[in-house]
Chain A
Amino acid sequence: QKEVEQNSGPLSVPEGAIASLNCTYSDRGSQSFFWYRQYSGKSPELIMFIYSNGDKEDGRFTAQLNKASQYVSLLIRDSQPSDSATYLCAVRTSSASKIIFGSGTRLSIRP
């Protein structure tokens, strides 16, 4: 089982709709969770991080964490074509000082 799992996609969402990206992790003791966005040919850019159960909102983005289910998600409201990118879920596990990345979900916003 991979430490951080994401559906590779592509996930196609119409412009203006809500895009929902999901991620599961295997280490129950993980404490910190991150979402990065990566455009083709560019390096990842940190969008949000979340440490506590529940929702965290920042503009059009909402991160949701459920530690009991070992599940973290990212919602993008009012999706724009510029949101088309690969979204990487990352988890800092309890035993490591490094962040483990998922393989990413490719999101495509269709006009």
Chain B
Amino acid sequence: GAVVSQHPSWVICKSGTSVKIECRSLDFQATTMFWYRQFPKQSLMLMATSNEGSKATYEQGVEKDKFLINHASLTLSTLTVTSAHPEDSSFYICSARAASGYEQYFGPGTRLTVT
């Protein structure tokens, strides 16, 4: 149980374009989803927290207009990187938590490369 999927697993896009990443909880209802970014050899950095049906809460320093998060259902959250730049190239990982538990389960991550 507690499987979280992400799509795509990797994506290459051109500078200035937008990219959407999907995160799905496959066997449980995720009332809360989290989006992280991780640069090589660095720790996870929480970008935002989203609760189903509510606006996402962004961490300090994360531009909400650049990283659009939608959590429209209990099994799906999306992160859209708008007007991507090479410095947005990173490993983006989502995590989901059910209403009944404290544990967070991670998706496999999406590697974004902006050229």
A interface residues, Cβ below 8 angstroms from B: 31-32, 34, 36, 41-46, 49, 51, 88, 90, 92, 97-99, 101-104
Contacts and interface: CB of A to CB of B under 8 A. Distances in A.
Contacts of B78: none
**The 9 A-B residue pairs with the shortest CB-CB distance in the complex, in nearest-first order:** A103-B43, A43-B109, A43-B106, A32-B102, A43-B93, A44-B106, A101-B44, A43-B108, A98-B49
A97 B49 contact: yes
Interface of B: 32, 34, 43-44, 46, 49, 91, 93, 102-109
Contacts of B49: 97-98
B34 A98 contact: yes
A89 B32 CA distance: 20
B94 to A, nearest CB: 9
